[in-house]
Structure 1
Amino acid sequence: MNDEYVIPPMDGEGQDVEFAADPEKEALIQQTIRLEKDAARWKREKTALRDMERRYLALVDVPFLVLMILCDGRVKYLNRKGEELFGFSLREKPKFDLLDYVAPGYCDSVERFLAPEEDAPMWNNRLSFPVVSVDGLQKWLDFAVTPTEYQGEPALLGVGYEITAPCSTAVVKQACDGFTLEDQRDVLLCVLDDKGTPMEMTDGFRSLAADIWG
C-alpha cells in the first residue's frame, strides 16, 4: 500500500494554492529584516564615528593646537596646549568663563565673535585676540569656531594656535625712524593721486622713469 497522500486540487488541476500569511509571524519577519538593516547601518556609522574619534584624538595631541569646547561662553573642555596657554588645568577651574581671561579692550569683540545671530546659517568664524594667563602674561591666540553639540547641549568647537603679538603703530614708527623710501634706489615705488598724477616716487622709480620717458 502506498502511504503517500496527495491533496487533490480544489479548483482545477495544476492551480497554485495561496495561504493566508500569519500576521504575527509576518511582523517578526519584517522586524528581523529591519534589525538587520539597522545593524548594517550602525556598523557603518560606528566605523565613521570611530574614524572621527581618531581624528579628534589626533588633533588633541597636536603640540601647537589649542582645542576647547564652549557652552554659553564657558569652557567645558580644554586640551593640554590650552591649559598651558592659560596656565592652569580645567580641573582647577572647571567651566571657567573665557571672557575672564581675555585682555582688557577685547572682551566685546570676543563676545560678538562667540555669539552668532539666531537666524544665521551654519557658520565658521575667526578672530585673533590676546588672553591673559594666570601669571599675568599676555598671549595672542588666532582662533576659529564652529557649531557642535556637547553632552546634548548646543556648543562651539574652538581651535586655534598662539601667534606673535601684532606690532603697534608706535613700534612700527620707531622701527622706521631714519628710514625713508624716497632715498631707496633699489625700490620702484610711485604714489599717484585719484587723477593719476604722480605725487611721490623713490629714486629708483625716478631713474627708471627718466630712462623710459626721457
Structure 2
Amino acid sequence: MFFGKLLPREGNFFELFNHHADRIVEAARAFSQLVANYNDPHLREQYNRDVDNAERAADRVTHEVNKLIHKTFITPIDRDQIHKLINTMDDVADLIQDSAETMALYDVRHMTEEITRLTDLSVRCCDRVKEAVAMLGTLSQAASVEAALKSCEEIDKIESDADRVMRSAMSKLFREEPDVREVIKLKAIYELLETITDKCEDVANVIEGIVIEHS
C-alpha cells in the first residue's frame, strides 16, 4: 500500500491534449474572425486579444504536460511521443499568433482573397487536429483508430490544398502587385499561413505514429 502511494499515477495526458487542441481551434477561429472583420479596428483589436489569450492558455497546457512527464512514473504512451506531440501542437498555436502579430507589425491595410482562403484552410486543419487528438484516449477501440487516421488523412489533403493556394498567391503577387513593400508584407503573411497547415500535418504525422504503435 505504501509503495503504491509512491508511484505517481498515469496522469491526465489525454485530457490535457484535448484542452490544448481546444485552444488551437479557439485561436484559429479568433484569427479567422480577425481576417473577416479586418476593416473594423475595434473588432480587429478584440480578435487579436482573443488569439493572444488562446495562445497563452495553450502555452500553460504545454508547460503542464512537460512538467507531468517528469512527475509520472508510468505514462500511457511513450514519453518522447508525448513531448513531441504537445510541443508540435504548441507550434501551431504559436504560428497563429505570429500571423496575427505580423499583420499588425507590417501594417497590412487590406485582406486579399488568398489570405481568406489560406485562413479558412488553416481553421479546417485545426479542426481536424482536434478530432484526431480526441481519439488518442480510446485507441483500444477500432472505431477510434479509424477516426484518428481518417482525420490525419484529411489534414494531409488540406495541407496540399494550402500548398496550391500558396503557389497561386505568390504567382499573382509577383505578377500584379506594383508596390514592393506590399509584396514583402503579403509574401510574409502567405508563408506564415501556409506554415500553419504544414505544422498541422506534422501533428498528424506524430498522431499516426502513436496510433500505429498503440492500436
> TM-score under structure 1 normalisation?
0.22
Largest Rg, 1 or 2: 1
> TM-score under structure 2 normalisation?
0.22
More strand by share: 1
More helix by share: 2
